[in-house]
Amino acid sequence: MNEFSGTFAISASGMKAQAERIRFLSENIANADTPGYRRKTAGFEAEMRGGKPTGLVVIGPPKLDQRPLERVYDPGHPLADESGYYDGSNVDLVVEIADAREAQRSYEANLRMFDQARQMSQSLLQLLRR
């Protein structure tokens, strides 16, 4: 793999991983008020080929956040127990929005790196044509 295609592949893997992360964050935000919903998280892992790191990144399998669910008092809710409480979700919207901004900025940084490599390869091809 030459330097330019390696750069493109690394940038593309970063964008793909951040897009998956944004998908998980969107699911968490959409289900913040769903009773019993547990927040999904996923970490990044280095891609390995033949036991050696390739420089590419992949998102790991989703994991459910094991923090306790919020207890919500609403005696009229169909899921409420005899004391009037039911289990809400463990999604903190402030954390999810902050994580979404971070993921968006990381995606944009990978996109800029991809674009810079593309511009450099175009400039190189123009120089070689002369």
Task: Output phi, psi for 36, to 5 deg.
Answer: 80, 0
Residues near 4 by Cβ (< 8 Å), separated by ≥ 6?
117, 120, 121
* Domain edges within the chain: 3-129
pLDDT level of residue 5 (50, 70, 90 thresholds) = confident
Tokens of 10: 């690394």
Q: Each residue of 11-30: pLDDT tens digit? A: 999 999 999 999 999 999 99
> Tell me, what's the pLDDT at 62?
93
Q: Is the pTM of this model over 0.75?
A: yes
Q: Where are the alpha helices (DSSP H) in the chain?
A: 3-30, 93-129
Q: What distance in Å separates the CA atoms of residue 47 and residue 110, rounded to the nearest whole number?
A: 17
Q: Each residue of 60-118: pLDDT tens digit? A: 999 999 999 999 999 999 999 999 999 999 999 999 999 999 999 999 999 999 999 89
